[in-house]
Structure 1
Amino acid sequence: MEEYFDYAVEQIISLCKIPSPTGYTKKVIEYLKREFDNLGFKYEITNKGAFLTDLGGEGNPLLLAAHIDTLGAMVRSIKSNGRIRLTKIGGYPENNIEGENCIIHTRDGKNYTGTIQLNHPSTHVYKDIKTMERNDENIEVVIDEKVESKEDVEKLGIKTGDFISFDARTIYTNSGFIKSRHLDDKASAGILIAIAKMIKDDKLKLKRKVYIMFTSYEEVGHGGSAGIPSDVKEMISVDMGAIGDDLNCNEYQVSICAKDSGGPYDYDVTNDLIDIAGYSNIDHAVDIYPMYGSDVEATLRAGYDIKHGLIGPGVFASHGYERTHKDAIKNTTKLLFNYISK
């Protein structure tokens, strides 16, 4: 099994390095196409841009969903001094991106690098650098080009509505930690690719029909609201486990969510996940996430009649520069392995 845990980590690292802010996920979709072509699974891309594949099996259809869209931004406007005012994609405080390198993706295919800075970035010049509020009025993108005016920037082909992705800064340490932006939810996306490889290599015997879906609009709340196969009876969002005050999960465990801001998850599904983790000696935690929503809740709000659950590897500093550990990847993979082969 160890080779599949390593494979999951390799996939996570590759996925994190592909820019895919919500609404600009074509590059990561192309990556998934190549990987699943290599694995030999047929797939479809929904009208909404989700990636859906049928892994086989018979009866009681289950959908496992991870999202491959990430936090990001767009060009809100171009300032007279040649800087860019951004608008956020997804929920995060501006201080989480201050000083971050980024890429501006123009709609005609050009890429320009830049840095997200406070309007008053120098401690040697500005007295208010410590107290200035971090918001979209005081944060700007400084482009790595010789530009001094709005007209200079427009000559580059940069326009309002262009996407901005953040440097993932992905690092895999000798001690097994994965540090990166966008582990939410590329950690779980990598796990699902590893599950598909296990099935391909005949290491995992399905006891039910299993689909995998990679959604493209989770960070803005409607990722799982469409494209669900009509025969699906149960859906599990494989997302990230939150870590922090009043929560049990750590960076080495799989987290099983009993309730989030959308309400409680299905009683039977949650019990099954807890029971399997317990008798399989899988290191896990059961938690309630106070400020969290998932793809499967969007599916329910869209009117689908399904049972629902939520699990994921513990991820520290969510929606910032995140961190998890290979052990959490192992434990999440093991729980999914045992759940779909029971």
Structure 2
Amino acid sequence: MKFNKDYVLRIAKELLSIDSPTGYTNKAIEYLEKEVNALGYTYSRNAKGNLIVSLKGTSDYTIGLCAHTDTLGLMVRSISSDGTLALTNLGGPLIPTLDAEYCRIHTREGNIYTGTILANVPASHVYPDAATKERKIENMLVRIDEVVKTKEDTEKLGIQNGDFVAIDPKVEITKSDFIKSRFLDDKISVSILMGVLEAIKTNNIELPYNVEIIFSTYEEVGHGSSSIPSNINELLAVDMGCIGLDLACTEYDVSICAKDSSGPYDYNMTTKLVNLAKANKLSYAVDIYPYYGSDVSAALSGGNNIRGALIGPGVHASHGMERTHYQAVEQTMQLVYAYITDKDLA
């Protein structure tokens, strides 16, 4: 299948630029709703805000695909006496990588303030341990870009405990087709599924099975797809592939995960994905991710009677400043398309 590269990269860049820390995903979901509507698909939302796109096939069997719109982030834990913000993390961002990053504070009234995330010993001319103090969440703060000198000054802005703090993703797509940004986990996979949707519509493809695509909102805290449409027989998560110690995946591959922290994925589904990758001459890797969980993990833990598997583009430096290459995006789209159009369920 030929995919529209410009479309996929546009979706990726625009979606990555929308703040959506886990629990604060409405703007990202609204963006996707508009794009899905423009393609002419039927869609709905469930109670927790997941966007579900429904495609009708020629049989009653239903394949589910999922990718998550929520990202890592921060929340205001308290306001300090000098007007800076103490923090709690949402999900598991690599805290040392947040030192000196720009951010946006979203208040309950809808106001947005900018700031900078810093260690509480931010100046080498002042603090003897500025370079050595551990960068952990208890030692981090937000310096707000407003004239605030006291806790009361900050409160007058409407900032309060529980406000979301979104980290600047710093999105960049290079001439050499690298995609650099925070939160490729998992917005690059959302863009992949949108690319597949666009290709199916553009080429007027008739699907052999019903397909339900779930864009979830709470994956980073473990319950994004804990409840899924009851007609789904099998669920394929599209999430980032890991790169690093003892792993075969690269930034140019589609990763097929055989096992993560929740245990092994379905043998038949995983085997079928490997065979399809081979048959379509894709660049792929099979790996095990011991510190990883997916929306399929959540769906299985939630008691859904399904079988499940996990694939995704290889992403370097997960939960930090992430990077992938368009080749991995292309390979993943090809594997997703091959899977949902293959007429052999075995």
TM-score between the two structures when normalised by the length of structure 1: 0.98
Once the two structures are superposed, residues 112-137 of structure 1 have per-residue CA deviations (whole angstroms, 9 ceiling, x without a partner) of 00000011111222210122111222
| 1:280-310 residue CA offsets vs partner (Å, 9 max, x unmatched) | 1000000000100000111011111101000
Contact 1:102 1:166 in 2 (8 A): yes
Q: Which residue of 2 aligns with 1:331?
A: 331
User: Do 2:2 and 2:199's aligned partners in 1 also have CA atoms closer than 8 Å?
Assistant: no
Aligned sequence identity (%): 51
Alpha-carbon distance between aligned partners in 1 of 2:173 and 2:94, rounded to the nearest angstrom: 26
Q: Which amino acid aligns with 2:300?
A: L
Q: Please, which moves more after superposition, 323-332 or 193-202? A: 193-202
1:165-192, Cα deviation, whole Å (9 max, x unpaired) = 0101000000000000110000000011
**In structure 1, how many angstroms separate the alpha carbons of the residues matched to 2:283 and 2:332?**
9
Query: Residue 317 of structure 1 corresponds to which residue in structure 2?
Result: 317
Unaligned ranges ≥5, structure 1: none
**Offset at residue 19 of structure 1 (A):** 0.3
Verify the 8 A CA contact 1:183 1:315 in the aligned structure 2. Answer: yes
Task: Give the distance between the partners of 1:93 and 1:329, measured in 2 at CA.
Answer: 24
**Partner in structure 2 of residue 241 of structure 1:** 241
CA distance in 2, matches of 1:321, 1:86: 20
Q: Distance in 1 between matches of 2:181 and 2:132?
A: 28
8 Å contact 2:3–2:195 — kept in the other structure?
Answer: no
1:207-244 Cα offsets, whole Å, 9 max, x none, are 21111000000000111111x11111100010000000
In the aligned structure 1, how far is the partner of 2:98 from the partner of 2:121? 15
Is the aligned partner of 1:300 residue 2:300? yes
Pairing of 1:153-168 with structure 2 (within 5 A): 153-168=154-169
The 3-state SS of whatever aligns with 2:309 is strand
Identify the residue that residue 232 of structure 2 maps to in structure 1: 232
SS in 2 for 1:157: coil
CA–CA distance in 2 between the matches of 1:146 and 1:186? 34
Is contact 2:3–2:196 with CA below 8 Å preserved after alignment? no
* Structure 2 equivalent of residue 16 of structure 1: 16
Contact 2:22 2:72 in 1 (8 A): yes
Measure, in 2, the Cα distance between the counterparts of 1:169 and 1:216: 21
CA distance in 1, matches of 2:297, 2:261: 10
**1:203 Cα deviation from its structure 2 partner:** 5.0
Question: What is the SS of the residue equivalent to 1:114?
Answer: strand
Per-residue CA shift, 1:55-113, capped at 9, x if unaligned?
22133200000000000011000000110001100012310211110000000000000
Q: What RMSD, in angstroms, separates the aligned Cα atoms of the two structures?
A: 1.0
Give the structure 2 partner of residue 35 of structure 1: 35
Separation in structure 2 between the aligned mates of residue 258 and residue 2 of structure 1, nearest angstrom: 28
- 1:42 shift after superposition: 1.4
Residue aligned with 2:118, SS? strand
Structure 1 SS opposite 2:4: helix
Quote how far apart the aligned CAs of 1:202 are.
Answer: 2.6
List structure 1 runs of 4+ shifted beyond 6 angstroms. Answer: none
Question: 2:211 maps to which residue?
Answer: 210
The residue type equivalent to 2:263 in the other structure is: G
* Structure 2: unaligned runs, 5 residues or longer: none
- Is the contact between residue 251 and residue 316 of structure 2 (CA under 8 Å) also seen in structure 1? yes
> TM-score by structure 2 length?
0.97
Report SS of the residue matched to 1:137: helix
The one-letter code of the counterpart of 2:293 is G
Q: What is the SS of the residue equivalent to 2:270?
A: helix
- Give the aligned partner of residue 6 of structure 2: 6
How much has 1:2 moved relative to structure 2? 4.9
Contact 2:73–2:93 at 8 Å: present in 1 too?
Answer: no
CA deviation string 1:24-78 (max 9, x = no partner): 0010111011101101111111101100010221332000000000000110000
